[in-house]
């Protein structure tokens, strides 16, 4: 629309203002103008880590994929990243190709049967991205910890030992709002909520936000919502676009501008136990996770 027509329209008393799109501004999938997030600056020194919990009690929404891909993207930008497998399924450990048996796991550290946190850390094939693994033992942790003193703060105490060595610690939560997730939220400075662009995406999010609010009230007053990440977005389907629109309506600016598209490259990368940024570095899925890393640095969610 030309400025001329715009002005005429307004003089005519039309209340319809031109949309940003009409003015030639390119809009992203969240309906906001597309931002080019700058390359993160090189860090002169490292740590202490900002701890981010990736949380959603719904399974299959992209928590583990985001932990791996974002962790690898941040590591490629020179950040020191520690990923915590906090799901007894051990998908994060598998996706990063590290062993989970005959090694110290996060379960041993929570229970106190292993005390040296640094010794539990494994390096991965991605320089700068380390992991503390988990296996099915972790499913017994809630039962074992329920009578502990300050049972919600155990993970926070564990991570304190190694926080100085990292710039960011990503906790890959299990799909539940039980004691383990409360431990993750208590340890965290921020929460990142991956949300699948599917029907019922919003179902349960109110309960998750309520849980975060309770943790803020009682255990961790400083916890922040770092953002809601729309995942498995398919720009070709009306359905996907409508779901994203609803999510933006509900959460506004808390929805990150970066959106992750649905692509089979992610399952392929996890079978190869390699982050997408290395498995298919030129694929748009890798681009989107690099953009997410830049957006989070830009928003000061990561140094």
Q: What DSSP state is assigned to residue 117?
A: H
CB of 63 to ligand ADP, least distance (A): 3
Nearer to Mg ion, 64 or 291 (CB): 64
Footprint of ligand ADP on residues 2-41 (CB under 6 A)?
Answer: none
Nearer to Mg ion, 9 or 211 (CB): 211
Nearer to Mg ion, 92 or 215 (CB): 92
107 binds, among Mg ion, ligand ADP, none (CB under 5 to 8 A by kind): none
Give the end-to-end CA distance of the chain in Å, rounded to a whole number. Answer: 41
* Residue 283 structure tokens: 């694929």
Span of 75-83, 86-94, 107-115, 128-136 interacting with Mg ion by CB under 5 A: 86-94
Task: Return the sign of the alpha-carbon dihedral for residues 293, 296, 300, 302.
Answer: negative
* Residue 100 makes contact with Mg ion by CB under 5 A: no
Per-residue buried b or exposed e for 184-216, using 16+ beta carbons within 10 Å of the residue's own CB: bbbbbbbbbbbbbbbeebeeebeebbebbeebe
Footprint of ligand ADP on residues 239-268 (CB under 6 A)?
Answer: 260, 262-263, 266-267
Q: Which secondary-structure segment (H or E) carries 171? A: strand 168-173
Footprint of Mg ion on residues 52-71 (CB under 5 A)?
Answer: 63-64
How far, in Å, CA of 43 to CA of 27, rounded?
31
Footprint of ligand ADP on residues 85-124 (CB under 6 A)?
Answer: 91
Q: Which secondary-structure segment (H or E) carries 173? A: strand 168-173
Footprint of ligand ADP on residues 202-221 (CB under 6 A)?
Answer: none
Nearest to 50 by CA among 79, 77, 87, 76: 79
Residue ranges that bind ligand ADP, judged by CB under 6 A: 59-65, 91, 175, 231-232, 260, 262-263, 266-267, 270
Residues that bind Mg ion (CB under 5 A): 63-64, 91
């Amino acid at each position: 629309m030309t400025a001329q027509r715009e002005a005429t329209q307004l003089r005519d008393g039309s209340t319809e203002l031109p949309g940003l799109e009409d003015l030639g501004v390119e809009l992203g999938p969240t309906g906001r103008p597309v931002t080019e997030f700058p390359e993160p600056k090189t860090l002169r020194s490292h740590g202490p880590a900002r701890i981010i919990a990736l949380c959603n009690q719904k399974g299959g929404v992209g928590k583990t994929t985001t932990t791996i891909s974002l962790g690898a993207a941040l590591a490629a930008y020179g950040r020191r990243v520690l990923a915590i497998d906090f799901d007894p399924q051990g998908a994060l450990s598998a996706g990063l190709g590290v062993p989970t048996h005959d090694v110290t796991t996060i379960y041993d550290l929570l229970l106190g049967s292993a005390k040296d946190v640094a010794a539990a850390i494994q390096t991965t094939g991605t320089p700068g991205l380390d992991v503390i693994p988990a296996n099915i033992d972790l499913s017994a942790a809630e039962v074992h910890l329920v009578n502990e003193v300050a049972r919600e703060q155990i993970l926070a105490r564990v991570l304190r030992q190694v926080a100085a060595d990292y710039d960011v610690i990503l906790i890959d939560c299990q799909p539940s709002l039980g004691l383990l997730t409360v431990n993750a939220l208590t340890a965290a400075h921020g929460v990142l909520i991956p949300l699948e662009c599917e029907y019922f995406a919003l179902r349960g999010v109110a309960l998750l936000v309520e849980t975060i609010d309770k943790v803020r009230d009682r255990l961790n007053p400083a916890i922040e919502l770092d953002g809601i990440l729309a995942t498995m977005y398919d720009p070709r389907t009306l359905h996907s676009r409508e779901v994203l629109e609803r999510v933006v309506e509900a959460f506004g600016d808390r929805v990150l501008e970066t959106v992750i598209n649905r692509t089979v490259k992610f399952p392929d990368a996890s079978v190869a136990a390699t982050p997408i940024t290395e498995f298919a570095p030129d694929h748009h899925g890798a681009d989107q996770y690099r953009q997410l890393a830049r957006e989070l640095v830009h928003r000061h969610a990561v140094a």
